[in-house]
């Protein structure tokens, strides 16, 4: 079953490729169509003009020859007949007149001595007076006045007619001074066949011209589109981050100029990106070095501040009441500075791409309960998490995410904070909702930005402005995400979505170690 299915997919892919090439938005198809229309218009116009000119020339030449012979025969044969000829005389004269090189039929009409109309026909009555149009008969028998411009009372007239789908030339004249009236009928079928052959030849020439134009259009399109295709491939490679992409330039036309412009642009972009990457790398290295350098003195300061805090809590009186507030400030700021350094180090790991997951299968309800209990939030958090929902993820990073989201809700929304867990098949959903005033609409797009403060009037707060950003990065590294919104019932809602089975990026523990949470442990940061 695999091979036929593969062939079907191959045919489907080939059909999609052909249809994509034939869609009217394709420049190649448009060039072929335009070339074809231009060639078709030119060929049809040329063929039409050629056919019309040849038709007129053929018919005029035949017509002049036939009418000339007929007129000559009328002068030499019909005019020599007596004023009142007999039918035999008319018949004999008609046969002599028809016996010419043009091979036309002749009909002669005259009055005999008794005043009756007699007829002479060269084709044994196959050509009769009824075959002559009435308008032509009327014109032939009409006597015209002699003027300076008209020297004869009667003239030769002709007309083209069609009988039984066959073309004919009909002509008529009357002998001046009294004599018979003659009509002739000439078949134009040979000329029509010649003209039909000419039309077929011109049609074939038009078709060949159309095919030739399509081939030329294809060749021109290939010539024009090949550099454009290479340019498109190079642009896609450039968009994929391969900034060393360059085009081979040949020629001096507009496409060559476009290729040179692309190369210059790519070179400039590569240089700018390299400069920015170097500055960004230097900035990250500075933050990482600074954070590591600060950890050593901070360790000593933290140890001293913990001793001072124990003395304050013991109420032994060893601390002078005059400096008690200053000692508490030092302890608080030391803790805050330690949290900031830890957050900066974690942010540096995310930026450098060295953050890794240490995955384990955990019960989500137990994990959330442990996070809340470790921070003494049991009285302030309402947990709705059924037991038995298992997920394969990094417990430490989940703890960091929950600590930041719940701590941010307690700080800015107040208790009670409701944490709800939903199992949606392959996805785990955790909602953290507070009962505060909610998040202003202009702040919502920036709640996960680093160092963002919702109020410019209080740029300094207990948080570093990195907590929610770190929570989002930890969600992303699991293949999930976090969204922030306002609940219709009031308060802000942060929704964490994580896949039930995250792909392990590495089995190595990050530099911070398993015992060091991203946000400093029990004091999450997040200014929304």
Residue 338 is predicted with a pLDDT of 73
What domains can be seen in the chain, in order of their start residue? 19-76+194-240 (no CATH), 80-187 (3.30.450), 360-507 (3.30.565.10)
pLDDT reported for residue 483: 92
| DSSP percent split of the chain into helix, strand, coil, nearest 5 | 55, 15, 30
Tell me the three state secondary structure of residue 387: coil
Between 56-70, 78-92, 109-123, 335-349, the lowest mean confidence (pLDDT) is in: 335-349
Q: What are the CA-CA distances from residue 212 to residues 32, 41, 198, 199, 216 (Å)?
A: 11, 14, 21, 20, 6
What DSSP line would sit under 319-331, residue for residue?
S-GGGHHHHHHHH
- The pLDDT-based confidence of 504 (bands split at 50, 70, 90) is very low
Is the pLDDT assigned to residue 187 strictly greater than 80?
A: yes
Residues in the chain: 528
pLDDT at res. 210: 79
Mean pLDDT of 146-164: 83
pLDDT of res. 512: 39
Residues 6+ positions from 77 with CB-CB distance below 8 Å? 93, 96, 97
Q: Give dist(CA 119, CA 131) in Å, integer.
A: 14
For the chain, what percent of residues have pLDDT higher than 70? 83
Which pLDDT tens digit goes with each residue over 191-225?
Answer: 888 888 888 888 888 888 878 877 877 777 777 77
pLDDT at 93: 85
Range in 36-45, 177-186, 310-319, 381-390 the model is least confident about: 310-319
Q: How far is CA 422 from the centre of its chain?
A: 41
Q: What is the pTM of this model?
A: 0.46
Please give the pLDDT value at position 299.
76
pLDDT value of position 27:
66
Q: Is residue 165 a contact partner of residue 199, using CB atoms and an 8 Å limit?
A: no
Residue 284 has pLDDT above 80, yes or no: no
Encoded tokens for 144 = 């015209």
Structure tokens at 354: 């060295």
Mean pLDDT of 479-496: 90
pLDDT at 62 exceeding the cut of 50: yes
| Region for 390 from its dihedrals, namely left if φ exceeds 0, alpha if ψ lies in -120 to 50, beta otherwise | beta
Res 11: pLDDT: 62
Stretch 461-479: mean pLDDT: 79
Asked if the model's pLDDT at residue 524 lies above 50, the reply is: no
Per-residue pLDDT band at 477 (split at 50, 70, 90): confident
Q: In angstroms, rounded to a whole number, what is the distance separating the alpha carbons of residues 332 and 320?
A: 18
Contacts of 140 (CB under 8 A, 6+ apart): 154, 157, 172, 173, 174, 181, 183
Of 155-169, 282-296, 302-316, 508-522, where does the model show the most confidence? 155-169
Q: What is the pLDDT of residue 200?
A: 87
What confidence tier does 125 reach under pLDDT thresholds 50, 70, 90?
Answer: low
DSSP states of 174-203 as a string? Answer: E-TTS--EEEEEEE-HHHHHHHHHHHHHHH
Question: Could you read off the pLDDT of 409-463 as tens digits, one per residue?
Answer: 888 877 789 999 998 888 899 999 998 888 888 888 888 887 776 554 444 445 5
Average pLDDT, the chain: 78
Q: Which of 3-12, 91-100, 398-407 has the lowest mean pLDDT?
A: 3-12
pLDDT in tens, 369-421: 999 988 888 888 998 988 888 888 889 889 989 988 998 888 887 778 999 99
> Which of 95-109, 263-277, 369-383, 511-525 comes out lowest in average pLDDT?
511-525
Looking at residue 495, what is its pLDDT? 93
pLDDT at 431: 92
């Amino acid at each position: 079953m695999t091979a036929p299915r593969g062939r079907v997919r191959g045919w489907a892919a080939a059909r999609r490729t052909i249809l994509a090439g034939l869609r009217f938005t394709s420049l190649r198809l448009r060039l072929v169509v335009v070339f074809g229309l231009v060639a078709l218009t030119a060929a049809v116009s040329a063929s039409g003009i050629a056919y019309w000119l040849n038709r007129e020339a053929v018919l005029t030449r035949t017509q002049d020859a036939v009418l000339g012979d007929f007129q000559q025969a009328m002068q030499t044969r019909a005019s020599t007949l007596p004023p009142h000829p007999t039918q035999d005389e008319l018949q004999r004269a008609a046969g002599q007149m028809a016996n010419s090189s043009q091979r036309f039929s002749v009909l002669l009409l005259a009055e005999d001595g008794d005043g009756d109309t007699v007829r002479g026909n060269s084709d044994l009555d196959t050509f009769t007076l009824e075959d002559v149009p009435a308008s032509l008969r009327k014109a032939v028998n009409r006597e015209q006045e002699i003027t300076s411009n008209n020297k004869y009372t009667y003239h030769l007239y002709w007309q083209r007619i069609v009988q039984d789908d066959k073309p004919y030339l009909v002509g008529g004249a009357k002998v001046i001074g009294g004599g018979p009236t003659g009509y002739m009928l000439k078949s134009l079928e040979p000329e029509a066949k010649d003209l039909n052959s000419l039309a077929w030849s011109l049609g074939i020439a038009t078709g060949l011209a159309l095919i030739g134009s399509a081939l030329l259009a294809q060749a021109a399109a290939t010539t024009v589109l090949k550099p454009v295709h290479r340019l498109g491939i190079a642009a896609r490679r450039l968009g994929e981050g391969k900034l060393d992409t360059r085009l081979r330039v040949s020629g001096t036309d507009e496409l060559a100029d476009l290729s040179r412009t692309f190369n210059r642009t790519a070179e400039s972009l590569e240089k700018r990106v390299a400069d920015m990457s170097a500055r960004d790398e230097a900035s990250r290295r500075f933050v990482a070095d600074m954070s590591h350098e600060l950890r050593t003195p901070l360790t000593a300061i933290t140890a001293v501040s913990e001793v001072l805090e124990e003395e304050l809590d013991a109420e032994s009186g060893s601390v002078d009441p005059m400096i008690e507030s200053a000692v508490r400030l030092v302890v608080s700021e030391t803790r805050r500075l330690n949290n900031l350094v830890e957050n900066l180090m974690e942010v540096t790991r995310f930026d450098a791409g060295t953050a890794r997951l240490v995955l384990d299968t955990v019960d989500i309800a137990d994990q959330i309960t442990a996070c809340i209990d470790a921070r003494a939030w049991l009285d302030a958090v309402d947990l709705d998490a059924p037991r038995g929902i298992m997920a394969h993820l990094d417990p430490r990073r989940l703890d960091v995410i929950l600590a930041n989201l719940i701590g941010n809700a307690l700080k800015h929304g107040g208790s009670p904070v409701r944490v709800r867990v939903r199992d949606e098949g392959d996805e785990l959903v955790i909602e953290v909702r507070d009962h505060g005033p909610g998040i202003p609409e202009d702040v919502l797009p920036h709640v996960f930005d680093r160092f963002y403060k919702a109020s410019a009037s209080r740029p300094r707060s207990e948080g570093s402005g990195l907590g929610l950003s770190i929570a989002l990065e930890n969600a992303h590294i699991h293949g999930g995400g976090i969204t922030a919104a306002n609940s219709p019932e009031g308060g802000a809602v942060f929704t964490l979505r994580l896949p039930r089975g995250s792909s392990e990026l590495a089995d190595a523990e990050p530099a911070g170690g398993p015992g060091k949470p991203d946000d400093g442990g029990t004091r999450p940061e997040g200014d929304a």
